[in-house]
Amino acid sequence: MMLEMFKAKLHPLTVTQADLYYEGSITIDPELLEMAGIRVYEKVQVVNINNGSRLDTYTIPGKWGDREVCMNGPAARLTNVGDRIIVITYARMTEEEAREHKPKVVLLDGKNNPVKVMDESIAGFRYNPDDQLG
């Protein structure tokens, strides 16, 4: 039996741009994608903390190190610049693989700078990115 497991996430990102007329996807700084182990063109779920919307799309790379997060195409109607979002990926794995799997989580501040990278148990962990803004 194959299980669909939480693989990685960027939590939370701040949307810096929205481009309604682009053909679709989410543009993310490739440095952040690499930190989380999320591949360019990988399917992701985007969860909007501000309005509760959820959507599936795929990633495309922005410019390395610029911390850009741009919602493209129809997804731009569900997200405003300044909204906080969570980008999540999942992976199919066997029960044996799932027992050993540890998801990777990149925690970010309000300017999309990484604060902490976790690849261990995250059960019970509560994170408030506003604590990091100083």
22, 41, 53, 58: the catalytic one is 58
Residue type, 19: D
C-alpha 101: how far from chain center: 19
Per the annotation, the verdict on 90 as an active-site residue is no
Enumerate residues 6+ apart whose C-beta is below 8 A from 131.
none
Nearest to 110 by CA among 80, 128, 130: 130
DSSP 34: H
Gap between the Cα atoms of 106 and 9, Å rounded: 6
22, 25, 41, 127: the catalytic one is 25
Per the annotation, the verdict on 25 as an active-site residue is yes
Look up residue 25 and give its two tokens. Answer: 């996807």
List, by residue number, the catalytic residues. Answer: 25, 58
